[in-house]
Amino acid sequence: MKKTKLGEALIDGLESANKWHKGQITLRTHEVSLPDAPKTLTAKEIQNIRKNKLKMSQAVLAHFLTVSDKTIKAWEQGDSSPKGPALILLQLAKKNPELFISVRTEIINKNAG
């Protein structure tokens, strides 16, 4: 059977893992510190970001965040809350609305063309 580069890399990786497990080798490690999880936003804060910071309708913000209009409405009514990337983008919009708009517009335009 012919070995592929991927297959060889997998075999090498498994052999290294086995040697590490047996204490025959030491693997390099690197410590990183992760930032704290983003602070959740209240319904009022989300509405304030949209209306006062971004000056957008629910539909436009939904497009920018790639979520549905119903999702924005649910967030602003307190029925649900943004999580993951949407929460991080809203935090960015709160802190620097101009940057949020320019980056998202650039990404949307690149994807359209």
* Per-residue pLDDT reduced to its tens digit, 30-69: 899 998 888 999 999 999 999 999 999 999 999 999 999 9
The H or E element containing residue 19 is helix 5-21
Whether domain 43-112 has CATH 1.10.260.40: the reply is yes
Contacts 24+ apart (CB under 8 A), 106-113: 108/63, 108/64
* Per-residue pLDDT reduced to its tens digit, 91-102: 999 999 999 999
80 secondary structure, DSSP code: S
pTM, two decimal places? 0.68
Under 8 Å between Cβ of 58 and 50: yes
Domain ranges of the chain: 43-112
**Taking the alpha carbons of 76, 80, 85, 87 in that order, is the dihedral positive or negative?**
positive
